[in-house]
Structure 1
Amino acid sequence: MMNDLMRLTGKKALVTGSNQGIGKAIALALAGQGANVLIHCRDETVSGQQAVAEVEALGVRSGLIVEDLAGSEAAERVYDQARQLFGAIDILVLNASVQIRRPWTAVTDADFNEQTTVNWQRTLELLQRFVPDMQQSGWGRILTIGSVQQLKPHPQMMAYAASKAAVSNLVRNLAAQVGKDGITVNNLAPGVILTNRNTEALTDETYREQVRSRIPVGFFGETQDCAALALLLCSEAGRYITGQDIYVDGGMSL
């Protein structure tokens, strides 16, 4: 029974920032349950095509959308390409984000604008475009990818942390409005997951152990830790979960 609720056969998904890391793991998890999954990346790179091939190897359809979300009208272009490739999207996972490490006193206008534009403004704009199709079909799953920094902001990522907190507020707001349409909206907030973004920062052994010491379970997470929860929230098994901010962080947010 539970396996049936997790199945996504015939559903059409778009995962932004899915050529690597958490986004790719989620894309593959959805595809593994039968969803057709569009891959999105910022630049035309080999990794994007590789992710498409890995999705298709699971016996479902895929395709690649290349679009820098920092650009004006980016949300409209992503939506148009998704419609051309798949038609209406059932599952929207908003994972792509920009993270700039800098002391708060040195944050520039450009730093602030890029992070708030990609992480927050484009989230709203993509929702404005994709949600009406879900409302028309009477079913939809929306998952934003936040950060443990919503509660415990890193001192060198003030703008990034604030943008993620803003999205979690947006999620609660939207969930209350579209629940009656068969759409759930949730935020998955990872802690320290061993992605390319984090592994570079963790190469310093002293810093690595300082970070690890703040995680109650005592180890760093893997991308599949996020993908498992994403699959629940994006399937019929998660139909009664909406407006939630759920941490996958080994207890770091405690």
Structure 2
Amino acid sequence: MVSPHQQMFNLDGHVALVTGASSGLGRRAATVLAEAGADVIGVARRAEALADWAAIGKDNVGGRRAALPADLSDEAGVATMCETAQQTFGPPDILVHAAGVNMRQPAADVTPDSWNETQWLNLAAPFFISQTLVPAMAEKGWGRIVNFASLQTTRAFPAGIAYGASKGGVGQMTRAMAEAWSADGINANAIGPGFFPTELTAAVFADEARSARNAAQTCVGRNGRLEDIDGPILFLCSDASAYVTGQILMVDGGFTAK
């Protein structure tokens, strides 16, 4: 028998769309949601890695998985992806925006093109995807949006001016989404990961001394593990977070608490 508290985290009957699902935290989030019962559409540029993620799910308990290769770098790509996604398992009612880019350019090296690409992928694309898919959620009276913030949402890092600006924007956008859509049953929140071993942070983890310094700055004394994102993602995408909206949940081992 399933208790009411266990049922809170059950995602049977829900459809989730996860961008950046081919690797790292996006892939982990997509896997967790599928294992919780949701039908999950994984979106990313890399078709082969995405297909591998979808194929793994065929032998696992949980919801269905579908790979949707897409380029989200412009308006046309976003529009096409949203149209296809809605035809896959029906309109998504859970959105996890994990796709992003960090070019790590010193301020003097940032160009209009690199600035615009960063702002579009990290900030604009999540908004326009949400804007397109929110009406179906509002009609249902239930939805969950989870944006990916960052340590750089509130702190400045070297060679991080474009990325930091985009992630600062994600924090404010999350609050504005909550104000705009929560009355329709659509909660919008963000996760702010600390240092996790992903492709975006490969250079950081390759430098053992730097990685050790980052771990020492946390309250728990270590860097993140991929499984550390499981609980926060499931919480924010389920009925367990019914009265939580407009918040940034920092999953950083206490890095920003110091």
**Structure 1-normalised TM-score?**
0.95
Deviation string 1:118-165 (CA, Å, 9 cap, x unpaired) is: 111111111110111100111101100111111122111111111011
Is residue 84 from structure 1 mapped to residue 84 from structure 2 by the alignment? no
Separation in 2, partners of 1:78, 1:224 = 28
8 Å CA contact 2:36–2:62 kept in 1: the answer is no
For residues 37-90 of structure 1, give each alpha carbon's deviation from its aligned partner in whole angstroms, at most 9, with x where no partner exists. 01111132x211111122333342121111111133122111111012122111
Equivalent residues of 2:138, 2:185 under 8 A apart: yes
Note the residue ranges of structure 2 that are not aligned, 5 or more in a row.
none
Secondary structure of the corresponding residue to residue 21 of structure 2: coil
Amino acid corresponding to residue 56 of structure 2 in structure 1: E
Residue number in structure 2 paired with 1:219: 222
Query: 5 Å matches for 1:229-240?
Result: 229-240=232-243
Contact map agreement 1:22 1:227 (CA 8 A) in 2? no
CA displacement at 1:212 relative to structure 2: 2.2
Please state if 1:32 is matched with 2:29.
no
Among 166, 185, 188, the residue aligned to 1:185: 188
Deviations 1:190-240 (A, max 9, x none): 010122321332212222222222222110101221221010011011111
Distance in 1 between the 2:176 and 2:129 partners? Answer: 15
In 2: Cα distance, 1:55 partner to 1:175 partner: 32
Moved more, 204-213 or 101-110: 204-213
Which residue identity is paired with 1:143? V
What is the match of residue 146 of structure 1?
149
The RMSD of aligned alpha carbons is 1.3
SS at match of 1:194: coil
Identical-residue share of aligned pairs (%): 33
* Counterparts of 1:205 and 1:22, CA distance in 2: 21
Give me the whole-angstrom Cα distance separating, in 2, the residues matched to 1:97 and 1:211: 21
Q: Which residue does 1:95 correspond to in 2?
A: 98
Distance (Å, rounded) in 2 between the aligned partners of 1:239 and 1:252 = 27
1:49 corresponding residue in structure 2 = 51
CA contact (8 A) 2:197 2:205 kept: no
Contact residue 153 and residue 164 of structure 2 kept, 8 A: yes
State the AA in 2 paired with 1:93. V
Counterpart of 2:42, as a letter, is I
Distance 1:52 1:31, change over 3 A: same
What residue is the counterpart of 2:170 in the other structure?
A: 167
- Per the alignment, residue 200 of structure 1 pairs with 203
Distance in 1 separating the partners of 2:156 and 2:44: 26
Tell me, in whole angstroms, the C-alpha distance in 2 between the residues paired with 1:253 and 1:59: 35
1:67 paired to 2:57: no
Size of the aligned set, in residue pairs, is: 253
Q: Does 1:155 align with 2:158?
A: yes
- Partner in structure 2 of residue 8 of structure 1: 11
Long gaps (5+) in structure 1: none
Deviation >4 Å, runs of 4+:
none
1:134, 1:213 → 2: CA distance?
A: 42
Give yes or no for the alignment of 1:116 onto 2:123: no
In 1, distance between residues paired with 2:200 and 2:159?
14
